[in-house]
Structure 1
Amino acid sequence: MVIPFVRPACSLLEVREVGKRYDGRTVLDGVTFALQRGEIVSLVGPSGCGKSTLLRAIAGLDGDFSGEIWLDGVPQRGSSARIGVIFQEPRLLPWLTVADNVAFSAGPRRGSDPRVDELLGEVGLADARQALPKQLSGGMAQRVALARGLFPKPDLLLLDEPFSAVDAMTRTRLQDLLLSLTLAHGTAALLVTHDLDEALYLSDRVLLLAPSGRAGAGRLVRDIAIATPRPRSRRDESLAGLHTELFDGLNGIGALQS
């Protein structure tokens, strides 16, 4: 069943009937949902169903799509300082210091901006401002990416599997850091992840994107609200049933495709 669009009051992000064709194939078909201020929403689904493609459209990195994307009541067709993007890899510029990387949206050598030190303090890297990316661990580099994403004071963070390249312990710490940062800055977040536990721990809602048919386009098939307020325990028993619901949903998708 496709989720119909119901426009709530004061939505920060509205995705309306977004479709995408690439190389003669439909990748996304009529994807519709809304995201509220301060809300964290995870987007899950099998590989190839268009999750990252959808994120690129929302970020303004790909304007070749049908449908509409609205931010705070204004239609979007391009990048916006009100939307921050954090990728799977930190994508730091190797010739710039940590401080200059954080402030890059303001210019290539703006690391002296007072906001940089504030953000580096928040992500636990106050002493690393003059370090180069090659001197950082994977977890440290992703902390810099989080600080860089927050530097323009965005209303919305888009995160494309940002913690998948680090070890399990670092991943849990980065998840907790994301929660504290979005709360402190009042920032909403849309997170693409393959990790159901991560989605359930971080999110207010989880959206399940699925291809329709054997080689069909990605469509939104489930919108699951998580009643337990954040921050929540990773051992919260109420999440177990939701994990099963998502897992069964993904298994059902796999059966339809096989």
Structure 2
Amino acid sequence: MSARNLSLQPPLLEVRAVGKRYATRAVLENITFGIARGEIVSLVGPSGCGKSTLLRVLAGLDRGFDGEVRLDGLAQRGPSARLGVIFQEPRLLPWLSVADNVAFSAGPRQGGDPRVARLLDEVGLASTGATLPKQLSGGMAQRVALARGLFPQPDLLLLDEPFSAVDAMTRMRLQDLLLSLTRAHGTAALIVTHDLDEALYLSDRVLLLNTAGPHGAGRLVRETAVTARHPRDRRDTALAELRNTLLDGISATPPAYA
């Protein structure tokens, strides 16, 4: 779907002036943006600027914040089955089979659900349903985590550094898998990543979070649209130019765009 068509849709997710404090320290300040249905957005920025904190707020795992988070116009007040969360580590339960891990949100030992077999086939693990997590490689375990995140049929996936724990070649394969899965399921995605090349390869837009303003809290300081069509060439010079723009924004603290 083109960036133009995405911009014409009402937002699926609306983040309105979100702020977060720990005691007297401001961590996030005036975070405002939206995500359309089917859109992939990456959130980048230096360590300590509040990216993972913001993701926890959006996932409903942290309710102590200012502002508002809306999904399809409804205020979110906790975790929702319409939001799938995928962490840096797969976090599979070691005593459950792969199939039971995928279906965990439906209750214990629900791996016989027909959707599980379909999802495992989609992530290239069709014959692993009865396998225990200890028998999987790191890349295989993260494929299971992707299947588990999609099992409740969410409208939006929230991914926190999902591929940072695997080697470079596996990472590229998982990036392509994520693109094919979101396209097949019509699922939007918000990806927290330190990897600018990953953000530009995957995303329709890249949001840059940096410490800005009088309190040194994390604020959105730049929004970069990525208009290159998929499938993208990782060696595209246009992506390299966007990467340089993002690097400039990370090394500086420009005024917030909103």
Q: Which TM class, normalised by the smaller chain length?
A: over 0.9
Residue number in structure 2 paired with 1:61: 61
Residue number in structure 2 paired with 1:33: 33
The offset of 1:23, in angstroms, is 3.1
Q: List gaps (5 residues or longer) in structure 2.
A: 1-6
The offset of 1:24, in angstroms, is 2.1
Residue number in structure 2 paired with 1:3: none
Residue number in structure 2 paired with 1:221: 221
The offset of 1:69, in angstroms, is 0.3
Q: Secondary structure at the match of 1:141?
A: helix
- Give 1:101-112 correspondences, 5 Å limit: 101-112=101-112
Residue number in structure 1 paired with 2:195: 195
- Whether contact under 8 Å (2:26, 2:215) holds in the other structure is no
- Whether contact under 8 Å (1:21, 1:27) holds in the other structure is yes
Q: Secondary structure at the match of 1:126?
A: coil
- Whether contact under 8 Å (2:208, 2:222) holds in the other structure is yes
Note if 1:172 corresponds to 2:172. Answer: yes
**Count of residue pairs brought into register by the alignment:** 248
Residue number in structure 2 paired with 1:23: 23
Q: List gaps (5 residues or longer) in structure 1.
A: 1-6
Residue number in structure 2 paired with 1:87: 87
Residue number in structure 1 paired with 2:153: 153
- Give distance in 1, aligned partners of 2:231 and 2:179: 8
The offset of 1:231, in angstroms, is 2.2
The offset of 1:194, in angstroms, is 0.2
Residue number in structure 2 paired with 1:78: 78
Pair 8,67 (structure 1): closer, same or farther in 2 beyond 3 Å: farther
Q: Alignment identity in percent? A: 73
The offset of 1:29, in angstroms, is 0.3
Note if 1:50 corresponds to 2:50. Answer: yes
Deviations 1:106-162 (A, max 9, x none): 001100000000000000001110111111000000000000000000000000000
Amino acid at match of 1:198: E
Deviations 1:182-237 (A, max 9, x none): 00000000000000000000000000001126961100010100111222111112
Residue number in structure 2 paired with 1:123: 123
Residue number in structure 2 paired with 1:4: none
Residue number in structure 1 paired with 2:208: 208
RMSD between aligned alpha carbons? 1.4
- Whether contact under 8 Å (1:8, 1:34) holds in the other structure is no
